[in-house]
Amino acid sequence: MPLFAFLSLVHLLSATAVLAATPPPGISFPREADALPILNLPYASYRAKSYNKDKDYYRFANVRFAAAPTESLRWQKPQPPPKESTLQDGSVGSQCHQAQTSNFLSWYFENNQPASEDCLFLDVWVPGKAARGEVKDLPVLDFIYAGGYVFGSKDWFLYDTGLWLENSDNNLIYVAGNHRLGAFGFLAGPTVEKEATSNLGLHDQRAVLQWIQDYIYLVGGDKNRVTLWGLSSGGSSIMHHVIAEGGKLNPLFQRAVLHSPAFLPIYDQTTMETSFQNFADKVQCRGKGIECLRKVPVDALQKANQDTVLNAPVGQFGFGPAIDNTFIRDLPLNELRKGNFARGIPLLMSHHKNEGLTFASSVKSDKDFDNLVASNFPNITASGKDQLNALYPDKPGQSAFRRTAHFVAHYAVNCNVRAMAAAYTQNGGSVHVYRLSALPAVHGLDTFFNWLRPGISVHKKLDFNAVLHLDEKPALSIDIDINFDNPLHRGIASKVQSLIASFARDADPNRWRHKGMKEVPPTEVKDDGLQVLDLGYEDETVELDDLAPKKECDFWAGDVWTGRVPA
């Protein structure tokens, strides 16, 4: 055989060997008995972390969906994940850096897992029948966690479950990913817009959605039936996705569930730049830009992140989605009012009867109320403040706490629900809204209703010094051991969960709802509120919800309170 022909044959055989060693994309089952299946992606392979034999579903944990956003990739959009030749088993993965606030909610969602900048991982729960190729094109439910854009994780103890596969009789695929938080995910202002990228937490969420578009078919999912689901900051993230680039950007999901969508608007360029420079000053980078920040040790950045959040003005967390003039061009309520949003997305939404109580505890006098307004809306005109006080007057016999709770519920949560409902119903969209009146009916309580399951309990040590950020010794603490598996919670939880699972399966909350439960009616948007299904621990009634009236919500959908358009 001529030498050239021999070398060509060797090259061909070598190439064939390499191809044979690289498994085709999809799920493969090793020959070994009881070996867990492997998800083969073009860039890496992941062995399933666990298998629930009784319920027949697999969990693939800590699948990397983007490169580690460290060093030169800090404050950059998520980049494609690197290729990995070693089989991954789900043990490598961290939550994103967290920041506690003075609000009790930060303890409530506290997660004691290791945190790292290298945190852009997702989990996928896959029914066994889909993993084995017996079915395909299952709908997908993608969850965005709560946490005020400064704390939260896909791995919080309540979230770590195959509950949604069980609720759907193994007829959907569940995905949950991390996104960058606080200063790591939401630095904003002119310097950031020029030298880096704002709203990175939102871009991370979008990267998870893009991963679903690219790879969910490999586990039997349908990229054209993706439900994006979020609570609190997760819910308001969805609002920002539908108005991204003025509503012209493909949102990469086809239906959405928003629970108590909450955020604190960040819109003033001067204020954003001041906040950015104040953060940079904490690590000796004032006036030196993003390149300086990229060289700062991560521990110093995290310390500055925590300090910024803890010392944020009353009613704020320090970071969150901001107008950046490209991805987010205006406040969501303005964009929705103007018609600048992605059309054709069925919505399931909810909120609580007492949303504002969670955030009003620091206000004890009308002077405190005035200070809250001044710190949150520094550019409001005198006329605009007169309008605000007329909408939320200092009534005789009404405490400043109640006044504040009413005010915060509107501008932070309830009017967001109304704005989404109004925008989508006016364009012929399918919208269903329910209200939770189960006491105490405060912001965040639906987390338990969404995730409670038989046998779930909380075993935590509540350190008051940590929650209140005190250095006093000895620490003031109590041990908490609560079992939530009681008939009332289990009853309302199973109802709420059935609505979410039904909607994710069929874009209809009623088709697979809890047996005997009333239907959630199509939402009617009226001047004095929304037509909703009210859910208590036992009662269900269809009624007019007056917690988001047109007059107050029109004020928050305008520009008077921002100072951008004088009254």
What are the residue numbers of the active site? 232
d(CA 488, CA 536): 10
Paired strand residues for 479 = 461
**Residue closest to 450 by CA, chosen among 497, 515, 513:** 497
| Cα 28 versus chain centre, distance | 32
Please list, residue by residue across 268-281, b when 16 or more beta carbons sit within 10 angstroms of its beta carbon and e when fewer do. Answer: beeebbebbeebbe
Any idea which residue has 């009613």 for tokens? 315
Contact 196, 187 (CB under 8 A): yes
Torsion of CA 412, 415, 421, 427, to 10 degrees: -110
Paired strand residues for 174 = 125, 141
**Residue closest to 232 by CA, chosen among 447, 452, 424, 451:** 447
What tokens appear for 133 in the block? 């190729």
d(CA 138, CA 329): 34
What tokens appear for 475 in the block? 């620490």
Helix (H, G, I), strand (E, B) or coil at 391: helix
Paired strand residues for 482 = 458
DSSP state of 244: G
Q: Quote the radius of gyration of the chain (alpha carbons, Å).
A: 25
Phi, psi torsion values for 243, nearest 5 degrees: -105, 10
